């Protein structure tokens, strides 16, 4: 069964995904992390990976989704590293968020 979405619906989903990705900055940034003391950062990443999995199918497996997932996986690894560097983490998260807007439908 194929479900069709409007271009507006797809753009809205991409913007929502981008916001969820950028939220990963707020909850880790030394300047703002204190505002989110109860957030489980690893769980936030896992929720985002689950969203990516679902959207990957809905968006018909666009190649850009691989880059988003790869950058987020690297950001999580950086966060969990004993030698964590926020600057590296921030770049990976920003790059992943930027990549979201490049996502085409059906690999286009």
Spans of all domains in the chain? 11-36+45-107
Q: Whole-angstrom Cα distance, residue 97 to residue 14?
A: 9
How distant, in Å, are the alpha carbons of 1, 8, 10, 38 from that of 44? 31, 26, 22, 11
Instruction: Quote the pLDDT of residue 62.
Output: 87
pLDDT digits (tens, 9 = 90+) for 43-102: 999 999 999 998 888 888 888 999 999 999 999 999 999 999 999 999 999 999 999 989
Instruction: Quote the pLDDT of residue 108.
Output: 46
pTM (2 d.p.): 0.89
- CA 62 to chain centroid, in Å, comes to 15
């Amino acid at each position: 069964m194929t479900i069709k979405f409007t271009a507006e619906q797809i753009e809205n989903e991409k913007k929502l995904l981008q916001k969820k990705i950028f939220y990963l900055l707020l909850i880790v940034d030394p300047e703002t992390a204190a505002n989110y003391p109860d957030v489980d950062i690893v769980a936030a990443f896992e929720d985002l990976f689950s969203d990516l999995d679902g959207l990957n199918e809905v968006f018909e497996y666009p190649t850009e989704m691989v880059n988003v997932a790869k950058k987020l996986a690297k950001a999580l690894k950086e966060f969990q590293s004993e030698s964590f560097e926020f600057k590296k983490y921030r770049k990976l998260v920003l790059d992943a968020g930027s990549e979201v807007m490049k996502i085409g439908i059906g690999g286009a």
